Structure 1
Amino acid sequence: MLTTAETRPVVVWFRDDLRLADHPALHAATESGAPVLCVYVLDEESEGLRPIGAAARWWLTQSLRALSSELRALGAALVLRRGPAAAVLAEIAQQSDAAAVHWNEIEIAPHRAVADALADALTMAGIAYHRHRGDTLVAPNAIRSKDGRGMRVFTPFWRRVLSLGDPPQPLPRPTTLRPAPALPSEQLSDWRLEPTTPDWAGGLRATWTPGEAAAQTRLAGFLAKQPGYAEGRDYPDRHVTSGLSPHLRFGEISPRQVWYAARFAAAERPAIAPDIDKFLSEIGWREFCRHLLAEHPDLASRNLQPAFDAFPWQSDETALSAWQRGRTGYPIVDAGMRELWHSGTMHNRVRMVVASFLVKHLLIDWRLGEQWFWDTLVDADFGSNPGNWQWVAGCGADAAPYFRVFNPVLQSEKFDAGGAYIRRWIPELAGLPDNLIHQPWTATPIELAAAGVELGGNYPQPIIDHKAGRQRALSAYAELRQR
């Protein structure tokens, strides 16, 4: 016979962990034997929380639909509410006479503040709560430098993580859930997270299938097609990367699940071990940026290296707009920006090239690029997005030296030699031969006419000369050092 405690429901607060497997909070709630009330709160009101961008809002909608469907298959429902999460969840806990509330921690200061406020409210109401670790391989306070601070150089950081051995094994997916009495739920469609007029999400729908099942399918497919990742990941036309970043961003798959699946694949096929090691180091970079964010909550707005606060950024709305629209006149840059707009993602090598072009050739503040990516990327992560931009700009942790200015033509010739990536995203240049497609301004009028290209017409002239842009960037850096 069930005790009173076992008949009172327990609440599971879903956050950026929209999955059922390896979900510590859900696992603990299920193991309690009590009815489980699953809740997601869209919180755009709590102080300090960064509202997600438009592409991520589209992804969130699909992910919540997928999670709701998975929960229904187990006999439970997903209650949707909108408002300040601490107040909303405290009210739900009291309305449902909950015995406890479970959630997975997010190691980001504003998210911790919301969780702290919820803990205080539950304590005042006499309701138990349980906080579980869930979004990193290692707790940020477990990796410290000799002076007790978070580490700012990736290689020793990742060595330290690896030295700790395997993370805890992923937790199993519940086979059934004992549902709690139903509570009113808001309608997902009423949140209007998806674009309507205009509906610009066609490319997102064609490219992605959000949800936990799709994440697992993508991981299995990626591991099955190795080897080749370590070398091929730099080539945007080879399609050898995992595509897991948006699934990780929304917690449809956990870093621990990826870790163990990858390690198992390497053990089964030793020949792919170098590829797996490289792949896991990319998971490590996500971890590194999350740890940075835990130490520096203002990562998206403040230079990690204060010397860059005096950098002479240029205000150039015309150049910024050309970059955003993929109209810079540099094919590899424009291809990347058009891929981003269509699919909500961009190949990692190309991300570095387009970011370098903005902050160095155009001398436009990295924060404007970070904000554009935040709005247009489906995988815009709180740590990785600003961490990567600061790395490229030279003002962040483990930063690339500022004087390393990517040459977009050489990068294009090296990593898209046949021009397949450019032709995919800039069809107006498709008729140019391989030796001209990377720098169409070098073609003769006859060659341009034969390919149907009109520079300054259907494709722009370069908005800045590479050598002039590079020299201007180096001069600005020299001026900063003198200051």
Structure 2
Amino acid sequence: MNSPSKPVDRALVWFRRDLRVDDHAALYHALRSARQVFCAFVLDRDILDALPRADRRVEFILGALRVLDDDLRRLGGALVVRHGAAADEIPRLAAELGVQAVFANHDDEPAALARDARVADRLKSSGCELRTFKDHVIFERREVMTATGGAYGVFTPYKNAWLRKVDAFYLSSYPVERHATALAPTPLATGVPALADIGFQPAGLIAHVGQGSRGAEALLDDFLDRIADYGDKRDFPAVKGPSYLSVHLRFGTVSIRRLARLAHQRMQGGDRGAEVWLSELIWRDFYHQVMHHHPHAMTAAFRPEYDAIQWETGEHADTLLKAWREGRTGFPLVDAAMRQLHQTGYMHNRLRMVTASFLTKDLGLDWRRGEAWFAQQLLDFDLAANNGGWQWASSSGCDAQPYFRIFNPTAQSEKFDADGRFIRRYCPELAALDNKAIHAPWDRAPLAMQGVDYPRPVVDHAIARERTLARYAVVKSRKI
């Protein structure tokens, strides 16, 4: 790779999943390397054209771009926004601006790597180069390896190695503003388009996520006031326990270095909540290094023997999938979680595990069907984390729960939503039931359910559990 500080006259910073000015690796290196720096984002049609016309993520991105453009203009630059295929638009824009280098931060998703290779080849043919940098995680690729030089497949040893390696250097920020005099405006920066301009329509973005980096700042300020309770409250969906920063991490409207630094400092000061939160941030790094070392796992089982599982198929399986998607399974916590996802684009992390376990181990459906639905619905969808979570739940991935560990959806409901507050919010037809009946209404209050538009359970959990054990046992008995 070329030296990040190798001088050039003009440079272009290509923003992707890093929609902020503060603590931005590629922007920092470009400002240190060039006399003039231009900035751009591509609304990539290779991605957007496959999305539904009402997609919350597109709405979020446009809001984040407006904040980014404002911040760049405040510093003397501006954001050029193009709508087209990134592999075409970036080389074209680089030529229009007469830059010698394009700076961008790493994106290790397989499709993104292929796109970047195409961009690099086209830039090279015109005498320009693509320079890329780590920005989205603390440790990436081969930075945390086992003693024998292999990739970690179990989280706890990875976490311990991560904690041994991390120090002030890896957590320090890139001071962009002190070098911002190199930012250059351009008449090509004509503002951020509206949804309708790119063929989309409003999708009902949930208000609390906020606008871009400003929204991230407000959420972080709020979370830091209650971070000490994170370990105690994070598993209860009716309680304000999580940080709610996942979408901002996904689109880089907040710096992972800043978050990890805050968590690490507070952990060293004895804050148990910060220690638990840091562990969640390390899980994120873990799944990204899994994606780097095992790209096959983004479409197939990490553990190949699990691709031999005989999942339920056919019309009945499709009916079960539809009931799960719509929150009509007859299991209140599962249904409330799926309705939360549909209505808001967000799902509480505990419930992601519960609903994924239910799909794979109660309904017997292929985890990829659930992963695809989450990929379509989640505002914070991240390929590495979504894949890792689904493979964890289906027992086919890295450090996954054993196949014989099967969440009981009623027991999960009683433990994590004991008074039914979360269920009542998203399943209001059950609001009149008492705190015991609401977790299994047809079993515990059948008379009260007469005339209520709520389905009977689509499966018997005890029977489904035995089927799952048998399904997995066949695979485990084979020598692959």
**Alignment partner, residue 353 of structure 2:** 352
Distance 1:170 1:390, change over 3 A: same
Give the partner amino acid of 1:393.
S
Q: Note the residue ranges of structure 2 that are not aligned, 5 or more in a row.
A: 1-5
- CA deviation vs aligned residue, 1:297-351 (integer Å, no higher than 9, x gap): 2333101111111101012111101100000010000010011111111111111
Moved more, 246-255 or 37-46: 37-46
Moved more, 12-21 or 94-103: 94-103
Distance 1:381 1:24, change over 3 A: same
Contact 2:296 2:302 in 1 (8 A): no
Shift of 1:51: 6.2
Shift of 1:44: 3.9
**Alignment partner, residue 294 of structure 1:** 292
**Alignment partner, residue 385 of structure 1:** 386
Distance 1:226 1:81 in 2: 39
Contact 2:8 2:33 in 1 (8 A): no
**Alignment partner, residue 3 of structure 2:** none
- CA deviation vs aligned residue, 1:140-196 (integer Å, no higher than 9, x gap): 112223553321100001111111122140112426453243226586236766853
Contact 1:300 1:370 in 2 (8 A): no
Q: TM-score, normalised by structure 1?
A: 0.90
Shift of 1:471: 1.1
Shift of 1:279: 0.3
**Alignment partner, residue 468 of structure 1:** 463
Distance 1:195 1:322, change over 3 A: farther
Task: State the secondary structure of the residue aligned to 1:137.
Answer: coil
Q: Note the residue ranges of structure 1 that are not aligned, 5 or more in a row.
A: none
**Alignment partner, residue 477 of structure 1:** 472
Distance 2:8 2:412 in 1: 62
Distance 1:127 1:18, change over 3 A: same
Contact 1:361 1:466 in 2 (8 A): yes
Shift of 1:266: 4.4
**Alignment partner, residue 427 of structure 2:** 426
Distance 1:402 1:444 in 2: 32
Moved more, 164-173 or 187-196: 187-196
Distance 1:348 1:465 in 2: 25
Distance 2:323 2:406 in 1: 19
Match of 1:309 among 307, 316, 322: 307
Give the partner amino acid of 2:464.
G
Distance 1:211 1:11, change over 3 A: same
Contact 1:9 1:180 in 2 (8 A): no
**Alignment partner, residue 169 of structure 1:** 172
User: Is the aligned partner of 1:27 residue 2:28?
Assistant: yes
Superposition map of 1:71-470 within 5 A: 71-166=72-167, 167-174=170-177, 176-177=180-181, 178-183=183-188, 188-189=193-194, 196=201, 201-202=203-204, 204-266=205-267, 270-271=269-270, 273-315=271-313, 316-446=317-447, 448=448, 453-454=449-450, 457-470=452-465
Distance 1:7 1:254 in 2: 27
Give the partner amino acid of 2:383.
F
Give the partner amino acid of 2:172.
Q
The root-mean-square deviation of aligned C-alpha atoms, in Å, is 2.5
Distance 1:149 1:334, change over 3 A: same
Distance 1:257 1:187, change over 3 A: closer
- CA deviation vs aligned residue, 1:424-454 (integer Å, no higher than 9, x gap): 11111111110111010123455x1xxxx44
Contact 1:35 1:180 in 2 (8 A): no
Q: TM-score, normalised by structure 2?
A: 0.90
